[in-house]
């Protein structure tokens, strides 16, 4: 069973069909929508501000999601994949977004819908990743536009696949 803990009188909440790996950690003021998955060693700390997550979001192994005290919460839309080892801190990620492995998205940044933040990229504080863009590098800069292939074969496929993978684990838990 995942570590789910009340902090400052706030207890994590979630919609139906969510899956939490045994070593996932959810603390404090967190609300997840339906069909989300939080994988092994991922940590969501809603202790200093709130975390709001939409439907069909997968938070993969080793991800850290945290906020900035009294300044910036974390808001994540629908159909978002946050890949292994990424750090999401005090920012907004809109719908249909892929955050690549090891990427970092910093305080008050906004990743608009239908975008990709490449593996290893660092989205600096206050940056806006424009809708329909792929950002890469340190600091992250726009390298190209997303297209139908990127959205369907990468962003939406990964979100759909992680819902399937979670089902495999839920079957074993029953």
What are the residue boundaries of the structural domains of the chain, listed by start? 3-173
Regarding pTM above 0.95, the answer is yes
Bridge partners (DSSP) of residue 128 are 110
Helices (H), 22-156: 148-150
Token pair, residue 74, equals 């974390």
CA distance 155 to 106: 21
The answer regarding whether domain 3-173 maps to CATH 3.40.50.10490 reads: no
Q: pLDDT tens digits for the chain (174 residues)? A: 899 999 999 999 999 999 999 999 999 999 999 999 999 999 999 999 999 999 999 999 999 999 999 999 999 999 999 999 999 999 999 999 999 999 999 999 999 999 999 999 999 999 999 999 999 999 999 999 999 999 999 999 999 999 999 999 987 776
Contacts of 112 (CB under 8 A, 6+ apart): 94, 128, 129, 130, 131, 132, 133
């Amino acid at each position: 069973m995942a570590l789910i803990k009340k902090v400052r009188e706030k207890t994590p909440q979630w919609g139906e069909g969510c899956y939490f790996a045994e070593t996932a950690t959810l603390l404090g003021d967190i609300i997840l929508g339906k069909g989300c998955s939080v994988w092994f060693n991922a940590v969501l700390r809603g202790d200093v501000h709130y975390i709001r997550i939409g439907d069909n979001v997968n938070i993969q192994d080793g991800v850290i999601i945290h906020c900035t005290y009294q300044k910036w919460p974390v808001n994540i839309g629908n159909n978002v994949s946050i890949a292994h080892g990424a750090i999401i801190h005090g920012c907004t990620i809109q719908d249909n977004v892929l955050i690549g492995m090891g990427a970092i998205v910093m305080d008050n940044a906004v990743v608009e819908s239908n975008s990709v933040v490449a593996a290893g990229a660092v989205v600096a504080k206050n940056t806006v990743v424009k809708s329909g863009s792929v950002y890469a590098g340190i600091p992250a800069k726009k390298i190209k536009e997303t297209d139908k292939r990127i959205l369907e074969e990468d962003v939406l496929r990964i979100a759909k696949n992680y819902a399937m993978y979670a089902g495999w684990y839920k079957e074993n838990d029953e």
